Structure 1
Amino acid sequence: MKHIDIIYRNDSGISFYWKTSKHSSIKAQVVFRDMGFYFTLDQLKAFAHLTQDTLAQSTCKDCPAPRECRSLLLKTPSPDVDLAVSRDEVYAIQDLLDQTILRMETQQFMQTALN
């Protein structure tokens, strides 16, 4: 953990800056379910919108566990990567993204205000 500056973490994942990169690039590493994405703020916002689209999907008819079943397809800002996720996972990912975006925007605002 000495090589990162944590932005936000919840039970599903963590977002952080690498200490070796400049915060001015406004890119964050977001890790959940053993996957890591290195996204700009705009890509994180796009990903957050995609989570909302995913929540509008229906699960399988007569699914015995609709909140835990990984029958939803979550698109990512990377055009070649989609994820099979459960509704509960989407809520957790959405929280991770929303809080990361909020904190990155706050940091960006503070840097602008101080300059």
Structure 2
Amino acid sequence: MKHISIIYRNDTGISFYWKSVPQEELKAQLVFRDTGFYFTLDQLKRFAYQTQDTRNQITCKDCPAPASCRSLLLKTPAETVDLAVSREELEGLQDLLDQTILKMETQQFMQTALN
């Protein structure tokens, strides 16, 4: 963990900066389940929007576990990658994205204010 600066973590995943990468353009590594995404702030915002859009999907009527069934298809900013997620995972991922975006925007604002 000495090579990263954690932005935010919850039970669903973690987001962090690589200490070895210059931060001219803010980019964060976001890890969800076994998948890592390396996104700019704009891509994270698009991902958060796509996560909100996925909330409107309807699960199967007869599903015995609608909160934990991975029946929702979540598009990502990586054009060739979609994720099958549950409502529980979607909520955790939304929190992870929202908090990461908030902290990155704060850092961006501070960098701009200091220059």
**Which residues of 2 match residues 1-115 of structure 1 at below 5 A?**
1-115=1-115
After TM superposition, the score normalised by the length of structure 1 is 0.98
| In structure 2, distance between residues paired with 1:79 and 1:112 | 31
- 1:24 positional shift: 2.1
Q: Per-residue displacement from partner, 1:2-26 (whole Å, max 9, x unpaired)?
A: 0001110111110000001112220
| In structure 2, distance between residues paired with 1:23 and 1:103 | 14
Amino acid paired to 1:107: Q
Could you list the structure 1 runs, at least 4 aligned residues long, displaced by more than 2 angstroms after superposition: none
- What count of residue pairs does the alignment treat as equivalent? 115
Sequence identity (%)? 76
Amino acid paired to 2:2: K
| In structure 2, distance between residues paired with 1:29 and 1:106 | 17
- 1:99 positional shift: 0.3
Amino acid paired to 1:4: I
Give the SS at the match of 1:2. Answer: coil
Give the SS at the match of 2:111. Answer: helix
- 1:61 positional shift: 1.4
| In structure 1, distance between residues paired with 2:14 and 2:109 | 22
User: Which segments of 5 or more consecutive residues in structure 1 lack a partner in the other structure?
Assistant: none
| In structure 2, distance between residues paired with 1:82 and 1:42 | 18
- Computed over aligned residues only, the root mean square deviation of the Cα atoms, in angstroms, reads 0.6
